[in-house]
Amino acid sequence: MKISTEIINKTVASIQELDTCSMEMARQRLDSLTKPRGSLGLLEDIAVKLAGICRGVPVSEPKTVIVLAGDHGIAGEGVSAYPQEVTCQMMRNFLSGGAAINVLARLTGAHVAVVDMGVLEEIEPHENLYIYRVRKGTGNIANGPAMTREEAAAALEAGIEVAGKEIKKGCSVIAVGEMGIGNTSASSAILSVLTGYKVERVIGVGTGVNQEVLQKKITLVNQAVNVNLPNPNDPIDVLSKVGGLEIGGMVGVILGAAAAGVPVIVDGFVSGAAAMLAIEMAPLCSEYLFFSHLSAEAGHRVMLDWLKKEPFLHLNMRLGEGTGAVLAFPIIDAAVKIFQEMATFREAGISSGTEGGLDPETEAQVFNEFWKRRF
C-alpha cells in the first residue's frame, strides 16, 4: 500500500525488527538469576522483549501516558450515554489532574500529556496540552466519511510528532489512551471492516448504553460500513471513512514510538483499534506493543484474538483514557527491576543445581558486553 505522505512513509520504513542478540543475552541473564529457569513467567518474557526493543539493557523510566481527544459526528445520533460536550469537559479534567487517568498516573509515576486532535470546543493552552485540531470533530460516519484522506494522514503525522516530542524529553515507555464521545462506534466499525466480522459480533455498550440504544448503535455502525465501503486493505482509507481523529493520532504515536525504538502499552478497545490500523500499516510495529488489559467492551476479546495478543490484566474495565495501560506500568517496572537488580547464582554464592546457569567466565563475558549495549 502506498503511504500518503513522506513523513508517514519515512516513519514506517524506520521501524526495525527487534534486536535478537540483546534478547538472547537477556534470556541468558535471566536464566542465571537465583530462581528456577522461567519461573517468573511473563515477567521474564517482558524483560526479554524490552531488551530487544531497547537494543540493550531494558529500561522503563521515565513513563508517559498520551491521551488523545477528538469529537465524533455520530455522537449526534445518541449512541452514547453522555452528551458530546463531555469530550471537551473531560479534557479540562485531565489537565486539572482530576480524572481517573491522573490518579493512576500519579500512583505509577507517569507523566500525562493531552492532545487535542479535533475537539469541537477550543481548549485553553496548558503546559501539558498539545494542540493540533486537524478539524472540528469528524463527520457523521453513518451518512458519509469521517474525514478526508488528507485529514487522516494529518492525524497520523500529529501522533508521530507528539511521540517524537515526548521521546525527546526522555520518555522510555509510552502508554496510549483516548477521549471522544462516540469513539466506540468508530472503533467497532474499524474492527468489523478489518476482521470481516459482522458489526453485531464486535459492538458493545460503550459508555453503558441500554439495549435500545445499543440496537440503534448497531444499525448506525452497519450503515456507516455500508455507506462508506472502506477498503480493508488500505488502513488509511478505513481511518478516513469510519475512524476518528484521536484514533488516527494514536496510530501515529504507535508508529512514531516504534520507529524510535520505544515500547507502547495499548489500553483497551479504542486504542486497540488504533493498534490494528498501525499493524496493518507496519507489521513490525506489533513487536513494540504490550496489551495491558481485557476490556469489558464486547469486541475487545475478538480484537485481541485477531491480533493474537494476550493482555496482562482482566479487571472488567471499560473507561478508556489510558487507565488500563497505566495500570500495566508496574508490571513493566517489575520485569525491569528483576532483570537489573536480582542476583545471579554466582553473585549470591548459591549452587545453581541441575539447571546450571552460566559458568563464571562466560557469565562475566556475556554480561559485561550486554551492559554496554545502550544504543
Distance (Å, whole) CA 188 – CA 141: 12
Cβ neighbours around 372 below 10 Å, total: 10
Distance (Å, whole) CA 220 – CA 320: 22
Asked if 244 and 138 touch (Cβ cutoff 8 Å), the reply is yes
Asked if 176 and 66 touch (Cβ cutoff 8 Å), the reply is yes
DSSP one-letter code for 114 = E
Shortest CA distance to 326 belongs to which of 109, 172, 117? 109
Question: What DSSP assignment string belongs to 37-104?
Answer: TTTTTHHHHHHHHHHHHHTBS----SEEEEEEEE--GGGGGS-SSS-TTHHHHHHHHHHHT-SHHHHH
Q: Which three cell numbers stand for residue 200?
A: 453485531
- Amino acid letter for position 324: G
Asked if 278 and 247 touch (Cβ cutoff 8 Å), the reply is no
Is residue 161 flagged as an active site residue?
A: no
Catalytic residue from among 44, 157, 321, 363: 321
Catalytic residue numbers, as ranges: 321
